Chains A and B, each alone.
Chain A
Amino acid sequence: MELLVFVMIGVLFAVGTYLLLSRSILRIIVALMIFSHGAHLLILTMAGLGGKNPPLYHLGDGDFMDPLPQALILTAIVIGFGITAFLVVLGYRTYKVHKTDDLEKLRGSADE
């Protein structure tokens, strides 16, 4: 199963990279979301997907999923959310001030 997930992660990263190389701020924000999905899946899968039980002590007989990556991902999800929220508002403000979300038009300044 890990191999399949690794392929999925590869697709996520490839699409994320492609979106990152675009001009629209919205696409770039989505690209970062895709990247973080890829990273989360990667953390989870690298620990192995072999466990039979969810990491709840009272349920199991010992064969649990590794709880540590799950804790790490939980932290990462929240931080990723914070960053995304900030970027969304930043993109919104950029549009309000510059009347465009096209990075091509946002580059450079007069005193270059």
Chain B
Amino acid sequence: MSSVHLAILAPFIVAAIIPMIYPYTKKLHTGWFVLFVPASLFIFFISFLPMTTSGETMLLTLPWVPSLGIHFNLYVDGLSLLFALLITGIGTLVVFYSIYYLNKKSERLHHFYIYLLLFMGAMLGVVLSDNLITLYIFWELTSLASALLISYWFHRKESIYGAQKSMLITVFGGFAMLAGFCLLYAITGTFSLREIIDQLDVVVSSPLFIATMLLILLGAFTKSAQFPFHIWLPDAMAAPTPVSAYLHSATMVKAGIYLVARLTPIYGGSPEWFWILTIFGLLTLTWGSISAVRQKDLKGILAYSTVSQLGLVMCLLGVGSAPLLDPEFSIAVITTAVFHLISHATFKGSLFMTAGIIDHETGTRDIRKLGGLMAIMPITFTISAVGLAAMAGLPPFNGFISKEMFFTSMIKATERSFFGLGDVGLLLPIIAWIASIFTFLYCAVMFFKTFTGQFEPSSFKKPVHEAPLGLLISPLILGSLVIIFGLFPNVLANTIVKPTVESVLPTLPPGQISVMLSLWHGVNTELMMTIGVVCLGSVLFIFMKKWQNLALYKRDRDPLHWFYDQGLIGLTATSQAITRTQMTGRLRDYFAYMIIFILALLAWTFSYTNAWSFRIDHMTDIPWFMYIAALIFIAATIALPFIKQRLTLIIFAGIIGYMMALFFALFRAPDLVLTQLLVETVTVVLLVLAFRHLPEITKEIRSKKTKVFHIAISAAVGLFVTVIAISAYSFGTEIGLRSISDYYIENVYELGGGTNMVNVILVDFRGLDTMLEVLVLGIVALAVIMLVKHRFKGGEDV
């Protein structure tokens, strides 16, 4: 157990302690106790920076279930450190923000912080795990914690709906991912990511390669809200705002990005991976940015904007996934992805926090009600303006750099020819450019609708004023990071971005990777594209009233929600319909199912193994009286279904029983004759006794179809029993099966001391059967007594 292991477990341990201290510390906000966890973890992870900067990595082992190859192994490199820093850094700010955001008197704070710490620990586990199973466990823990946090206000319907939706979608993806991991294990025989990468040629040449890729991508896409699985993210906005800021913008939704980046060494280089990521990334980018414009809720806009930006990063990871084909290009593209990842975490975090502040201070997040807040909330306004400008890609903020680099990557992609890129490559920058226009547009909408225009005090429930300092500190820090990373991007270049790029592209020699970031690239195509974005975006915004009423923009729900809702309804309805047709409550239907199933199984087995056999030459001769007896017996049996009176039925049942005794006599079984006679007599007496109290037999009402069906089943059963009996018998004689009874016959007198072989077998050779048979009779006797004598008074007597 190393200190990094402890770092991952620390949030869990503190989460376990919170309920113990919560009742005694109600005077102080619980958040203060929690705050030290992410803060100290952040400092702890900072201390690894020199190590990763120098290009070193660290593998920490801790066996967990060694017999199954499952270890709690941790791997620290640039990529995992970047994520660990994001998780703990933004985690610190979010916890600090939540202290001022959540009221300690009216909220169940201990629940909130337990879930949040659970999430934090799980997320650290995801990014630091080297073992796929450990990664999966932490992955599902993040889904669970996320659902718990979304449903934090569980008395609200939309919270429960959102939590269920996110749970269903992310766990669906998680299961697919687990299947992908298991296939990887089947290929390589190890769950360790390091060792899988070492056996790269085995993985790539495996026929399961594409299957593992698709399954794992399903996990990554559902978690990172890629099209069409993005629908859970907007509904997850029912969570408290600190949660939205933390989980649904900065950390959890990037777990899928992390996974894709982490697995790039395995899959990067295959055209499927390249195209799936690129196409779905671009699709998500465009769809998210177009949908965001439609939203009327601040958090709704931010949710779709998150979807869109995640699509951007995913697309970049796809475009840059083939390092061996074009190293320089890949390095540039992955650098862009990593830098945008950091940019997005900073500005999206601050934007969510300011949206939360506006909600907190005005009581609404509806942009149709908001307006003119610029003068009233100047600090919030400033932070928002910085964040929105960065998101829209304006200089001098970090969003500008990443957007320029994004355009550069897309333009460069058109010059590449691998994977058939040359033919359709031109589409990439065009789609990216269109998506950027919409990105600019929704940023403008958020900015102008919230802060400019006329301030209407009457539309707010409470007097609106600037937020307290405590709420402002966290977004202020993030906002300043946006500016710092914008003006001095090289602060990050060698410390964080370069080691991350190195771990995404480990196949390249480390010396080859050099990262240069700068705010100003000179006047080039990308700059022209940005200017075009600004101009076209402004035009669209100015004429927004004209096209706002287009059909697509009338409703603010994403049309894809419809598929989810209808799918869920359809699933329930279908399963109910199936159950209703199948579970009729009629005993005879169930009998029919079972009989048909057994018949089908036997018929298939018999014909499959060709077990039919019809040799009758071994059989004994039939004496003449046997024909008469058999005829009477068969006639009496067939008469049974036609009998309408209960007494007649009992009498015929008795006749058949006595005929059985006759057959036993003919087949030289004296003990059976005696027993059969006796038992049949007692049974008939019992039946007569009991059914003296019963009415006449219910008239069988069967439709003609049912009757034919039942007769068919019955005939099939009879035929089958006969055929199987004949086949088994003739098979037995054919191969000369010998009975073990010779032993009994020889030893019945010597060992058993009796001459009646049947009785000696019953009480001597196989006495245990007899003893238990006596037990059966005893139980039956007791049960009969219970049934007749024991009655519940008043209660359920059924």
* Given A21-B710, A50-B620, residue A6 in contact with residue B722 (CB < 8 A): yes
Q: Which residues of A contact B773 (CB under 8 A)?
A: 75, 78-79
Known: A22-B588, A54-B668, A104-B586. A67 touches B694 (CB 8 A): no
Q: Give chain B residues whose Cβ lies under 8 Å from the Cβ of A24.
A: 697-698, 700
> Which residues of chain B are within 8 angstroms of A52 by Cβ–Cβ distance?
668
Per-residue contact bits, chain B 656-673, to A (CB 8 Å; 1 contact, 0 not): 110010011001111110
Do B725 and A45 have beta carbons less than 8 Å apart?
A: yes
Mostly, the B contact residues are helix
Q: Give the complex CA separation of A37 and B616 in angstroms.
A: 24
Give the chain A neighbours of B717 by CB distance below 8 A: 13-14, 17
Q: Is the CB of A20 within 8 A of B591?
A: yes
Asked if B14 lies at the interface with its beta carbon under 8 angstroms from chain A, I say no
Which of B301-309, B440-448, B682-690 forms contacts with chain A?
A: B682-690
Question: Which A residues lie within 8 Å of B626 (CB)?
Answer: 1, 4
Point out the residues of chain A lying under 8 angstroms from B459, CB to CB. none
- Which residues from chain A sit less than 8 Å from chain B, CB to CB? 1-15, 17-24, 26-30, 33-34, 37-38, 40-42, 44-58, 62, 64-68, 70-71, 73-75, 77-86, 88-93, 95-98, 100-104, 107-108, 112
Contact among A18, A29, A48, A97 with B641 in the assembled complex (CB-CB below 8 Å): A18
Q: Is the CB of B780 within 8 A of A82?
A: yes
User: Can you name 14 A-B pairs with beta carbons within 8 Å?
Assistant: A4-B622, A5-B663, A19-B640, A22-B588, A23-B701, A41-B663, A45-B729, A51-B668, A68-B739, A71-B758, A71-B769, A75-B762, A86-B784, A95-B694
Which residues on B sit within 8 Å (CB–CB) of A33? 653, 656-657, 683
Q: Which of A22, A67, A70, A84 interacts with B683 by CB under 8 Å?
A: A84
A56 to B733, CA, bound (A): 25
In the complex, residue of chain B having the shortest beta-carbon distance to the beta carbon of A90:
B787
Residues of B within 8 A of A34 (CB): 637, 640, 653, 656
Does B587 count as interface, using CB distance less than 8 angstroms? yes
Pair A11/B621 contact, Cβ less than 8 Å? no
**In the complex, what residues of B have CB within 8 A of residue A58's CB?**
755
Known: A1-B620, A55-B757. 7 other contacts (CB 8 A): A1-B622, A15-B641, A33-B657, A68-B740, A70-B672, A81-B679, A107-B587
Nearest-Cβ distance from residue B20 to partner chain A, whole angstroms: 42
Given contacts A37-B656, A75-B769, A101-B698, contact A107 B586 (CB under 8 A): yes
Q: Does A68 lie within 8 Å of B741, measured CB to CB? A: yes
In the complex, the answer to whether B780 meets A19 with C-beta atoms within 8 Å is no
Contacts of B754 in A (CB 8 A): 57
Which chain B residues border A68 with CB–CB below 8 Å?
A: 739-741, 744, 761
| A107 & B649 in contact (Cβ 8 Å cutoff) | no
Shortest C-beta distance, A98 to chain B (Å), equals 8
When distances are taken between beta carbons in the complex, the residues of chain B under 8 Å from A27 are 649, 697
Among candidates A9, A17, A82, A86, residue contacting B725 with C-beta atoms closer than 8 Å: A9
Verify B714–A57 contact, CB threshold 8 A.
Answer: no
Closest Cβ of chain B to A85, distance in Å, is: 6
Task: Give the size range of B's interface with the partner.
Answer: 35 or more
Greatest chain B CB density within 10 A among A15, A46, A66, A88 is at A15
* Contact yes or no, A1 B619, CB < 8 A: yes
- CA distance in complex: A62, B116 (Å): 86
Interface residue ranges of B713-762 to A (CB < 8 Å)? 713-715, 717-719, 721-722, 725-726, 728-729, 732-733, 739-741, 744-745, 748-749, 754-758, 761-762
Q: A30 — which chain B residues lie within 8 A by C-beta?
A: 640, 649-650, 653
Indicate the member of A2, A23, A70, A103 with the most B CB atoms within 10 Å.
A70
A70 → chain B closest CB, angstroms? 5
A interface: dominant SS: helix
Is the pair A65, B714 in contact by a Cβ cutoff of 8 Å?
no
B788 within 8 A of A: yes
Contact B668 A17 (CB under 8 A): no
User: Do B668 and A65 have beta carbons less than 8 Å apart?
Assistant: yes
Contacts known (A11-B718, A33-B683); A57 close to B675, Cβ less than 8 A: no
Check: B633 CB closer than 8 A to any chain A CB. Answer: yes
Among all A-B residue pairs, the 10 with the closest Cβ atoms:
A14-B718, A10-B722, A107-B585, A67-B757, A57-B755, A55-B757, A18-B714, A82-B780, A10-B718, A17-B714
Contact indicator A67/B780 (Cβ below 8 Å):
no
Closest to B592 in A: A21
Contact in complex: B630, A67 (CB < 8 Å): no
**B795 at interface (Cβ–Cβ under 8 A)?**
no
Which residues on the B side are within 8 Å of A18 (C-beta)?
Answer: 641, 710-711, 714
Kindly state the separation between the CA atoms of A70 and B671 in the bound complex, as whole angstroms. 8
Instruction: Judge whether A9 and B722 touch: CB under 8 Å.
Output: yes
Contact B620 A2 (CB under 8 A): yes
Give Cα distance in the complex from A40 to B726, angstroms.
16
- Contact check, A64 vs B757: say whether CB atoms are below 8 A apart: yes
- Give the residues in chain B near A95, CB-CB below 8 Å: 693-695
**Alpha-carbon separation in the docked complex, A38 to B719 (Å):** 13
Cα distance A33–B787 in the bound complex, in angstroms: 21
- Proximity string of chain B (159-185) to chain A, C-beta cutoff 8 Å, 1 when within and 0 when not: 000000000000000000000000000
- How far does the alpha carbon of A76 sit from the alpha carbon of B45 in the complex, in Å? 75
B776 touches A (CB below 8 Å): yes
What residues of chain B lie closer than 8 Å to A38, measured between beta carbons? 721
Cβ of A10 and Cβ of B721 under 8 Å apart? Answer: yes
| B586–A103 touching, CB < 8 Å | yes
Closest residue on chain B to residue A108 by CB atoms? B585
Query: How far, in Å, is B105 (CB) from chain A's closest CB?
Result: 43
Residue numbers in A under 8 Å from B783 (CB-CB): 86, 89
Nearest CB on B from A96, distance (A): 8
In the complex, what residues of A have CB within 8 A of residue B777's CB? 78, 82
| CB closest chain-B residue, reference A40 | B660
Interface presence of B634 (CB below 8 A): yes
Point out which of B588, B687, B711, B725 has the most chain A C-beta atoms below 10 A from its C-beta: B725
Beta-carbon contact of B686 and A85 below 8 Å: yes
Whether A21 contacts B713 by the Cβ 8 Å rule is yes
Chain A residues within an 8 Å CB radius of B68: none
Contact of A74 among B638, B646, B660, B671 (CB under 8 A): B671
A22 to B589, CA, bound (A): 10
Q: Do B729 and A2 touch (CB < 8 A)?
A: yes
Give Cα A88–Cα B687 distance, bound, in whole angstroms. 7
Given A14-B717, A30-B649, A41-B660, is A92 in contact with B780 using a C-beta cutoff of 8 Å? no
